[in-house]
Structure 1
């Protein structure tokens, strides 16, 4: 009898599924098959235990869900009962409110109808008829309650008006019912008896107007006692909660002084239709035992653990049997991994020097295959032909165990004949019984490393050669230890081999005779090296008295090769330059004096003419007095007057000679406090002689209350005189008309962002101006626009002004496209707090305000 078609198809499918599984099983090793055969029962027991636990967990969760559904259902039943009762009461109250509003009732009739309503409704604790002013017009209370005249909830005492912050819950409900024209429930509160109640306010409307409210008090505890079904209270605890989760009433009375156990199943619903924040909560507790208390569960767990323990014992026994096989497999895998991953060439030889093992890296280095090397005796094919004897000696040294621990550097020949440098390390091969069977050699290609090392050595040699050949002293000092780390030949020649010279150059004084402390070298001692590396200081010049030399010192911080913070100094001998600068300063001083002599030489004829006038007057006065004395026509008063005039003219000639002598006197430059007004007056007095000779007028203006200058007044006077003389020559040589033969000298204070507070001296003429190509070369030495000029005047002026930390500039003045004159101006820095006078200063004629409240003083000289 043949099998049904479906059965035969299922059998064929099962066979096809078992074939791949069988092939996979046969591919596994015996040790793995034993391990899997042991783990399969263990997995089955664990799966069985997991299934039992899952079944218990599922049944327990299903029971919890049933209990939760029961709690929810009971809560909704209690909610429905209370809701229906409240809706019925609300409808009756609305009917009564409508009846009371349409016809006038006296308190007796109100009590009769209210009593009829409350007779079968125990939940209503009191009925009150409130007027529009919230005063009770009539009230009804069940029998047994006494009206003691205390104010009722919802009523406002006569003659008082509550603020919104002091209104009660009943008053808020009354206001809401009045405004919304619909029944409103108040939030729970305690009445005069201390009972928790809430009210319903039903508005009374007469022809659309609010005429009062009918108020009913509900006792929360009465609602719970009468309208929660008894079958619900037998199964679960039901409680009423306010909006703050405080229990107002409950079907279960808690034990006093004992914390109530937290319910595991809770369901809350609102106390409809009140909508006043009250919640109805039903709670339940699980009665079923858990997994811990189930004896059947623990029996299954114990049997499963026993089975697992037996299977683990069997697996441990089988593992011990496979340890030897695993050790062999691990050894094989280790050797294979080492051969395939190492870049270091490995070679093993026996006690006779026969090659017994080489790894792929060794074959790749030499170019020979493993078959060509295994079993070979010396000489090996990778030995260079010219080094066979040396390699034999090294091999004998290896076989005798006398190879150095640091390795041996050898030359190795590749199959193609090329050579490379290698370092070989030798270690003994010991078998399991502790007997040495040979030697293991590791070989590393160091060709590139040796090339880099040779390059670094050559670079270091070149660097040392350059530093030793420098004419500057180079030294490196450790900041922390004060140790001299490096010094070149020039440093050793000048300062020796200790750190005192470095300390002298770093501190700039010759007092440090011992090795400086880290703090003496620089204030950066102790800071992290990474923060200071690369940080340099400004170059400075230091004088070494012992050597009588000046050094230009430049320093910077660097991180030394061992990580320490170090300071490097480069000191260049600048003694010759300092001597040249001193000589140049002397020459400049001589040039200043020479310039003044040249200026006075050019003004010699004018000075002679100026002196000729007082001398001629003296001669005339003397001749006149002699004639009148001889003639006897002069009295004492006339003689005294003539002698006074003669003395005045002699004093005038003496002043002229004294001023010229002071101007051309050779003296050292001296920076002294000076007043701009005195400098200008002296310069104008000297220049007036030249001005009169050339028929040029000079106007000078000096602002009042100017700060005191710290300068050499003779040098500044020389600059002013040079500028005034050049302006007069430009006007006279250009044959300018009388209307343009004027020079203006102005001295005013200025303040610029670049220079700060300065005093500006400006000389403005009305001459032909300067060509544009000449302005850029005015201050070049020996450049002059005059045929007989030497070209040192303006160059010297610029040097004088810049030595006083000032600036000088020249510019043409324009009247439209035409040049109307030239203006030279220079500035001298001042201390703005120093003032000469306390008189106010007037604004300058060009629109500049020299100082607040200042005045001007202007003079004109021919």
Structure 2
């Protein structure tokens, strides 16, 4: 066999930037080193040749000479060997290296070529990454959220330990198909979210009610993103968080809001009781008078027609009283949340009857200015009506506390105006009075609760108005009226009502 000459082999290795030491295959003594090895170790070739392992190796048990010799022997019998070795340079610096021992038969003699490269930076980086990983695992132990990676075919490739706890998975148990956790009604929505996962940023969060593997229900907020990291990671990255407690709190708040709104309607009816009683007294008194007249007519001969006229008149008055009572019952009756499409003008018209009753007793003139075009909104009619009533009653109360001489209007009359209009993509309702108004610094906090324009008022009604309007996606505010007094306004999103 034609083996290369040792000198030619030296010339070839000297051209490499990789450090190389040549050891005699029998004695394992150093017989040559290339320029890169000499520079790394800080020795000349002449200084290296007599050195032993103890002279150029970190003095710890795992770097004993017999271990290095064993690797070289295996290189001769079994082929190239890769092992870790820590060389020590002339100035005492440790060089942690990845060494590869390879048997090379040369023309003059057989040698073991040991190539080594400094992996100190890599080892430090690995240790740092392991430290970060340990810390991250520790930090995530108690998190109520997790991450999972899905392959392009939808299979679960990875799920974090915290995610396994969120999903109720026992140690070692497979996660299974993500769709199995959702109800049938939510599966299509989850598939749509996964299919539309963006590349740069997470998708908009979606809520899902799932059943954990241990059988308990919970709510998750899920976001996802497409990931494409060469061939190493490809698919969808899911981030999910347990929001069961948040949903429970929100539901409790909605329940409390419904109770508050219900109480608010009863409170409004209490304020209207006097005016309604007065309104009912007129048709009921007329009914009594007509019936008494009809009875007297029946006692006289040839008076059937007069008696019938009296009874028909009594019937009309009774029907009038029934309409008043029905209007009150329809408004005050407790209803569960029921949103529907409605015209804001119709809502204002529905409550205008009650506003005018209250205003009439207080000596307030009411005017209504409705928009010429439809103002479609999607809302709970009773609640939006409650807002208009609260604002109107608040204004009437303020007007009654101000003497006519103090009214800021040319007519010297107590006036209340209800107005509706269209403002771009919003519908606008306004309640405007010419009363005393409120201090300039109070407009911004009028609807924040415990602030009122009434003497002795606590502002709960106005806070309720803000709660209702905000929940419907609108805004509410107050400012001084142009002719003096107070102007309260609120907007709601304009919607396109479905046909049919």
Query: Matched residue of 1:789: which SS?
Result: coil
**Structure 1: distance between partners of 2:71 and 2:149:** 46
1:415-473: per-residue Cα shift (whole Å, max 9, x none)? 344433233322334333xx743333333232222222222232333334444542213
1:679 CA displacement: 3.2
Asked if 1:686 corresponds to 2:354, the answer is yes
- Structure 1 gaps of 5+ residues are 1-326, 526-531, 837-862
1:328-355: per-residue Cα shift (whole Å, max 9, x none)? 9xx9688457437635142343633343
**Structure 2: distance between partners of 1:448 and 1:759:** 66
- Name the counterpart of 2:65: 391
Distance 1:505 1:802, change over 3 A: farther
For residues 80-99 of structure 1, the aligned pairs below 5 Å read none
Asked if 1:695 corresponds to 2:363, the answer is yes
Query: Matched residue of 2:111: which SS?
Result: strand
**Structure 2: distance between partners of 1:634 and 1:428:** 142
- Name the counterpart of 2:110: 437
- Name the counterpart of 2:276: 607
Aligned with residue 823 of structure 1, among 468, 479, 487: 487
Aligned with residue 718 of structure 1, among 386, 395, 399: 386
**Structure 1: distance between partners of 2:132 and 2:383:** 57
- Name the counterpart of 2:264: 595
- Name the counterpart of 1:579: 248
Asked if 1:426 corresponds to 2:109, the answer is no
- Name the counterpart of 1:483: 155
Give yes or no for contact 1:379–1:388 (8 Å, CA) kept in 2.
no
Distance 1:501 1:783, change over 3 A: farther
- Name the counterpart of 2:468: 800
Give yes or no for contact 2:18–2:115 (8 Å, CA) kept in 1.
no
Aligned with residue 781 of structure 1, among 440, 449, 454: 449
Asked if 1:452 corresponds to 2:125, the answer is yes
Distance 1:633 1:761, change over 3 A: farther
Give yes or no for contact 2:182–2:209 (8 Å, CA) kept in 1.
no
1:678 CA displacement: 4.4
**Structure 2: distance between partners of 1:521 and 1:663:** 42
Provide the aligned C-alpha RMSD in A: 3.8
- Structure 2 gaps of 5+ residues are 406-410
The structure that has the greater radius of gyration is 1
- Name the counterpart of 2:323: 655
**Structure 1: distance between partners of 2:304 and 2:55:** 142
Distance 1:504 1:713, change over 3 A: same
Give yes or no for contact 1:708–1:834 (8 Å, CA) kept in 2.
no
- Name the counterpart of 2:459: 791
Distance 1:822 1:371, change over 3 A: same
Give yes or no for contact 2:63–2:86 (8 Å, CA) kept in 1.
no
Query: Matched residue of 1:730: which SS?
Result: helix
Flag the structure with more relative contact order, 1 or 2, with Cα contacts below 8 A and sequence separation at least 6. Answer: 2
Distance 1:759 1:814, change over 3 A: closer
Distance 1:759 1:356, change over 3 A: closer
Give yes or no for contact 1:473–1:572 (8 Å, CA) kept in 2.
yes
Aligned with residue 224 of structure 2, among 555, 563, 574: 555
Query: Matched residue of 2:325: which SS?
Result: helix
- Name the counterpart of 1:567: 236
1:813-841: per-residue Cα shift (whole Å, max 9, x none)? 235xxxx13222334445568899xxxxx
Query: Matched residue of 2:367: which SS?
Result: strand
Give yes or no for contact 2:13–2:20 (8 Å, CA) kept in 1.
no
Distance 1:768 1:449, change over 3 A: same
Give yes or no for contact 1:705–1:835 (8 Å, CA) kept in 2.
no
**Structure 2: distance between partners of 1:811 and 1:642:** 53
Give yes or no for contact 2:150–2:157 (8 Å, CA) kept in 1.
yes
**TM-score, reference length from structure 2:** 0.82
**Structure 2: distance between partners of 1:424 and 1:759:** 78
Give yes or no for contact 2:272–2:354 (8 Å, CA) kept in 1.
no
Distance 1:507 1:667, change over 3 A: closer
1:741 CA displacement: 0.8
1:49-91: per-residue Cα shift (whole Å, max 9, x none)? xxxxxxxxxxxxxxxxxxxxxxxxxxxxxxxxxxxxxxxxxxx
1:479-515: per-residue Cα shift (whole Å, max 9, x none)? 2x43322112243342645454534579985669xxx
Distance 1:390 1:521, change over 3 A: farther
For residues 304-343 of structure 1, the aligned pairs below 5 Å read 335=10, 338-339=13-14, 342-343=17-18
